[in-house]
A and B are shown apart, each in its own frame.
Chain A
Amino acid sequence: MPHTRELIDKVTGHYGANREALLPILQEIQRNEQYLSDEAMVEVAKTLDISSADVYGKATFYSFLDTIPRGKYVIRVCKTIVCDMHNKNKIIETIENLLKIKVGETTLNRKFSLLYTNCLGWCHKGPAMLINDDVYTELTPEKVRDIIREYKNKP
């Protein structure tokens, strides 16, 4: 697992090997490996000299951290009330049909995951979604089709 080690070192280089580095380390691993494997969590625990249960507790607390593998591109569609009022269901349906997965699932090639999320802070431009860190607003089924096509063409 040389890769994980490098990621951990990179973050502790900035914060030092103390607890304050924990969330940033987990975020960094999540970003690069798309989830937090048991091995990675154990490695983090060793580095910070805390129990792996502690690391697991942190990892499972946050909705943007996962302990099961996700796709390279994680799509999070807002399901909170304003986006819901603005037809988020149509958006979900469109993505489900395009990717042939249901909400909560990941495509077989591990390229896409489709998830719900809570209010993204773009209610005035709902429906809204995130793909990894990028925001897409004022979605329509047509717009979503274009966006997904674009991502399908990405490596």
Chain B
Amino acid sequence: MAERLQRLDMILGTYSPEKYKILEKNLSRPKNEIIKDLIDSGLKGRGGAGFLTGLKWKYAAMAEGEQKFVICNADEGEPGTFKDREILSKVPRKVLSGMGICAYVIGANKGYIYLRGEYKFLVPQLQKEIDEFHVYCDIHNLKFRVEIFLGSGAYVCGEETALLNSIEGKRGEPRNKPPFPTNIGLFGCPTVINNVETLVSAMTVCNIGPDEFKKLGIQDSHGSKLFSISGDTPKPGIYDLEFGLSLDEFVREFGDGDTKAVQVGGASGFCVPRKKFSQTTLGFKGGLSGDNLPTGGSMMIFNSTRSMYHVLENYLEFFEEESCGQCTPCRIGCQQLKKGIDAVKRGIKPPEYLEQLLSLTETMKITAKCGLGQSVANSFSSIVENFREEMIY
């Protein structure tokens, strides 16, 4: 097994022997020092967008406000992602410790775990852990309370500002940015929203320090990351891997010997065909132009029996249903893309029509209000361009 493929178990590994020891240790450190450590560690958000966690905390810490919030984004709706559920069911204490440290650093007294409705079965055990966490908050003089807020089946509510609207009792529609939640967030108050895994990694940085953390991964993508691996693989599951892995290595380890394509980052990520495996590395920088893909950790493997037309159609149906409908490019765009590939497939439209659809996704990328509509172009163009014949015949 390639070295980068060894399971690190940094995130899902066992707890330290004493409960909330890392939290306690950090509550007596200067806040600036924690922020500096996080920035030095290069830790980037694990929710997909990859924003520097240290900076996010810093902005919220600097923002003025009597009341501030910490929100753990556990809406995990991206197709092919299931690592946050695993973290919350196996090591919830690490997530709460991360939230506690964040609350201390930015001065928040209230936190939410926004849990997708599909994970409601987790509530009893999670609530038990929260109750115990509150006891430790009191012992260590941290005025902080965490509450679970349940979603109700809407992918878009994972978008941070839609999530805020959802808690506030409004439709879960994304807001315009700026202002960013670190300044004007929940109920207008400064708010940090972090992915489940990000909070665990932040706690890890606070525990082992930025230097140890940086030893893992590659330039610009430090640390380890949980990957949710599914599809045509003999060993689907959750793996804690180092950044910087090439897709070639990845497929050799996880493929079924007949891998045709890998979808990196879920339906809103990119589809990489076999011929590009060797030049593609897993990390944050660059997007598709560079050879370094951003990722929320979803890795879906397709073998040669799969129709990429069918895969794309399935994604478009997903986007069409999950679009909040607030802005026209996304609401109409998703429908038209789905109709469009259908028309080409049936021969109602000529193959050149695909170019028009590609330019429609470019328009959506620029004009859609949130990441949902903006990222449809990723999977659409990477599938249509790399598997053009399959779209037509």
Give the interface of A toward B (CB within 8 A): 18-24, 26-27, 48, 57-58, 61-65, 79-82, 84-85, 117-126, 130, 133-135
Say whether B168 faces chain A, with CB atoms less than 8 Å apart.
yes
By a CB distance below 8 angstroms, the chain B residues around A24 are 149-150
Contacts A121-B81, A124-B237 hold; do A64 and B152 have CB atoms under 8 A apart?
Answer: yes
Q: What's the dominant secondary structure at chain B's contact region?
A: mixed
Contact B152 A62 (CB under 8 A): yes
Once bound together, how far apart are the Cα atoms of A84 and B312, in whole Å? 12
The listed residue (B120, B231, B238, B318) touching A85 by CB distance below 8 A is B231
Contacts A27-B152, A81-B314 hold; do A118 and B172 have CB atoms under 8 A apart?
Answer: no
Contact A81 B154 (CB under 8 A): no
Once bound together, how far apart are the Cα atoms of A117 and B236, in whole Å? 21
A-B pair count, CB < 8 Å, reads 116
By a CB distance below 8 angstroms, the chain A residues around B231 are 81-82, 85, 123
Once bound together, how far apart are the Cα atoms of A79 and B313, in whole Å? 12
Q: B231 — nearest CB in chain A belongs to which residue? A: A82
By a CB distance below 8 angstroms, the chain A residues around B166 are 23
Contact B314 A58 (CB under 8 A): no
Contacts A118-B322, A119-B80, A121-B82 hold; do A20 and B228 have CB atoms under 8 A apart?
Answer: no
Say whether B160 faces chain A, with CB atoms less than 8 Å apart.
no
By a CB distance below 8 angstroms, the chain B residues around A20 are 167-169
Q: B121 — nearest CB in chain A belongs to which residue? A: A133
Contact B154 A119 (CB under 8 A): no
Looking at A26, A79, A122, A124, the one whose CB has the most chain B CB atoms below 10 A away is A124
Looking at A18, A57, A120, A121, the one whose CB has the most chain B CB atoms below 10 A away is A121
Once bound together, how far apart are the Cα atoms of A117 and B340, in whole Å? 24
Smallest CB separation, A117 vs chain B (Å): 7
Say whether B155 faces chain A, with CB atoms less than 8 Å apart.
yes
How many residues of chain B are within 8 Å of chain A by beta carbon?
Answer: 48
By a CB distance below 8 angstroms, the chain B residues around A48 are 169
Smallest CB separation, A130 vs chain B (Å): 7
Contacts A81-B311, A82-B80, A85-B231 hold; do A121 and B306 have CB atoms under 8 A apart?
Answer: no
Once bound together, how far apart are the Cα atoms of A134 and B122, in whole Å? 10
Smallest CB separation, A79 vs chain B (Å): 8
Once bound together, how far apart are the Cα atoms of A46 and B345, in whole Å? 51
Once bound together, how far apart are the Cα atoms of A26 and B230, in whole Å? 34
Smallest CB separation, A16 vs chain B (Å): 11
Contact B78 A119 (CB under 8 A): yes
Contacts A80-B318, A119-B78 hold; do A85 and B232 have CB atoms under 8 A apart?
Answer: yes
Once bound together, how far apart are the Cα atoms of A119 and B78, in whole Å? 7
Once bound together, how far apart are the Cα atoms of A65 and B154, in whole Å? 10
Given contacts A62-B154, A119-B79, A124-B82, 13 further A-B contacts (CB under 8 A): A20-B169, A27-B150, A63-B154, A79-B314, A80-B318, A84-B314, A85-B231, A118-B321, A119-B318, A123-B300, A124-B238, A133-B120, A133-B121
By a CB distance below 8 angstroms, the chain B residues around A134 are 121
By a CB distance below 8 angstroms, the chain B residues around A122 are 82
Smallest CB separation, B24 vs chain A (Å): 30
Once bound together, how far apart are the Cα atoms of A107 and B77, in whole Å? 29
By a CB distance below 8 angstroms, the chain B residues around A18 are 169
Once bound together, how far apart are the Cα atoms of A125 and B153, in whole Å? 20
Looking at B149, B171, B230, the one whose CB has the most chain A CB atoms below 10 A away is B230
Smallest CB separation, A25 vs chain B (Å): 9
By a CB distance below 8 angstroms, the chain A residues around B85 are 121
Say whether B116 faces chain A, with CB atoms less than 8 Å apart.
yes
Q: B155 — nearest CB in chain A belongs to which residue? A: A118
Contacts A85-B232, A123-B236, A124-B238 hold; do A22 and B82 have CB atoms under 8 A apart?
Answer: no
Q: Which residues 138-187 of B sit at the A interface, judged by CB distance below 8 A?
A: 149-155, 166-172
Contact B152 A63 (CB under 8 A): yes
Once bound together, how far apart are the Cα atoms of A18 and B118, in whole Å? 25
Smallest CB separation, B107 vs chain A (Å): 21
Contact B152 A65 (CB under 8 A): yes
Say whether B197 faces chain A, with CB atoms less than 8 Å apart.
no
By a CB distance below 8 angstroms, the chain A residues around B81 are 119, 121, 123
Contacts A123-B228, A124-B236 hold; do A64 and B153 have CB atoms under 8 A apart?
Answer: yes
By a CB distance below 8 angstroms, the chain A residues around B169 are 18-23, 48, 58
Give me 8 A-to-B residue pairs in the complex whose CB atoms sit less than 8 angstroms apart, sorted by A's number: A27-B117, A62-B153, A63-B152, A80-B79, A81-B315, A120-B118, A123-B230, A123-B231
Say whether B76 faces chain A, with CB atoms less than 8 Å apart.
yes
Say whether B119 faces chain A, with CB atoms less than 8 Å apart.
yes
Once bound together, how far apart are the Cα atoms of A119 and B322, in whole Å? 11
Once bound together, how far apart are the Cα atoms of A119 and B315, in whole Å? 11
Interface residues as binary, B228-247 with A (CB distance below 8 Å gives 1, 0 otherwise): 11111000111000000000
